Amino acid sequence: MMQKRKLVNFLLYLVAAFLAVCYVGYGKAVLIAADDDLSEEIYEVEVPCKTNDPPENKCLPKRCKRTIKDDVFSEDDIQILRSIALKGYATRGDGEGGPTILDINTGYIRDSAGLDNLFTKSDSNTIFAPDDFGHYGKIIRKLRDEVLLATGAQDLYFTAPTFITRLDGRNGWEPRDFHDQYWHVHADRNNTLHYHYSGLLYLSMFKKDFTGGRVLFYDADSSRLEQVVEPRPGRMLIFSSGHENPHKVERVTSGQRLVLAFWFTCNPEKQFEIFLDGNAHTTFSKKVGASYLLQKQQQERQNAQDHSLEKPKSTADAEDL
């Protein structure tokens, strides 16, 4: 009898320990559900910054946070963006499942079959119409305005790459290499140093279009789950790119999940122009960056000269202030 009681107590202990782990990992996390409407009331949470950027740069994050907002764009805008993406994906046939990444600014597309550039093909001018490029450009510029509004940043530059990702959860697909394993926890700036602000614009609906595929945010140590975000069309997610925002995407288990991913930088030398001209582009806009730095140096010299010409205020003037 005593031995049986010990066994029962031990089993109860295991159950309690398991529930405790579940509670720490998931119980305290904030769920932003797909049917939550954040068009009027924006969700925002501040997190401690984990970067060592110079404080005098007014573009760099001073307050690191995560911002979620719905219906920044109309339903028509989202549908047009989806149709643009589907035109690009169609060039790869039905695909094999897993991730397909499309950047219509540079022409690059990548899936399990490898990397290619659509704009180097003989029929490249038939894939996208001029209106497609115009619409895509309008979306990107509006997203930049939203990032500026959400972060209070200044001198923010669009940077590469920016792409629409399709995650296909068909049965039987398995990753060919590490790049196909999109479900690992990471911080964007750990992968690309010039990223300062990250964003996602969802084009499909959780549970309706796909299962899995939620975004999970962790604390800076990646040990505790803090937020779970379920995608819905038109939902925009903006966050600082540093290690204060480790996150991952759950593996998509069925259907197809579409999202526009974008990044902005405070480094003018890493600016990537919004070309959208149907031509292949592979380099940062060094000319723009060099021009910006030259203008900044000239302005600093002018400010120094103006300061040297200023007359010191008299005691009476100072007392009047």
- Cα separation, 219 vs 138, in Å, equals 34
160-172 tens-digit pLDDT = 777 999 999 999 9
Q: Using an 8 Å Cβ cutoff, are 248 and 216 in contact?
A: yes
- Cα separation, 205 vs 259, in Å, equals 10
- Cα separation, 154 vs 146, in Å, equals 12
Average pLDDT, the chain: 82
Cα–Cα nearest to 158, from 245, 59, 75, 63:
59
For residue 288, give both structure tokens.
């723009």
Query: Can you tell me the mean pLDDT for 104-127?
Result: 89
Q: Quick one: pLDDT band at residue 222, thresholds 50, 70, 90?
A: very high
pLDDT at residue 56, as a whole number: 64
C-alpha Rg value of the chain to the nearest Å: 24
- From 5, 189, 257, 301, the catalytic residue: 257
Q: Does the pLDDT of residue 115 top 80, yes or no?
A: yes
20-69 tens-digit pLDDT = 333 334 458 999 999 999 999 899 999 998 877 776 677 888 789 999 99
User: CA 200 from chain center: how many Å?
Assistant: 4
Helix then strand then coil, % of the chain, to nearest 5? 35, 25, 40
pLDDT at residue 238, as a whole number: 97
Query: Can you tell me the mean pLDDT for 130-151?
Result: 93
CB atoms within 10 A of CB 206: 21
Q: Does the pLDDT of residue 321 top 50, yes or no?
A: no
Contacts (Cβ under 8 Å, ≥6 apart) of 6: none
- Cα separation, 54 vs 57, in Å, equals 6
pLDDT at residue 293, as a whole number: 42
Cα–Cα nearest to 231, from 245, 217, 213:
213
Longest dimension (CA), the chain: 97
pLDDT at residue 73, as a whole number: 96
pLDDT at residue 183, as a whole number: 96
Query: Can you tell me the mean pLDDT for 182-210?
Result: 95
Assigned superfamily of 27-297: q2cbj1_9rhob like domain (2.60.120.620)
Residue with tokens 């000269």: 305
225-267 tens-digit pLDDT = 999 999 999 999 999 999 999 999 999 999 999 999 999 999 8
pLDDT at residue 7, as a whole number: 42
For the chain, the structural domain boundaries read 27-297
Does the annotation count 257 as an active-site position? yes
Q: Does the pLDDT of residue 316 top 80, yes or no?
A: no
Cα–Cα nearest to 214, from 233, 227, 232, 228:
228
pLDDT at residue 298, as a whole number: 54
Q: What is the DSSP string of 135-199?
A: HHHHHHHHHHHHHHHHH---S-EEEEEEEEEEEE--TT---SSGGG-TTS-B-HHHH-TT--EEE
Least confident of 53-57, 86-90, 306-310: 306-310
Q: Does the pLDDT of residue 10 top 60, yes or no?
A: no
Q: Using an 8 Å Cβ cutoff, are 258 and 85 in contact?
A: yes
Degrees (nearest 5) of the Cα angle 130, 87, 181?
125
Query: Can you tell me the mean pLDDT for 134-145?
Result: 93
- Cα separation, 279 vs 199, in Å, equals 25
pLDDT at residue 300, as a whole number: 55
SS3 77: helix
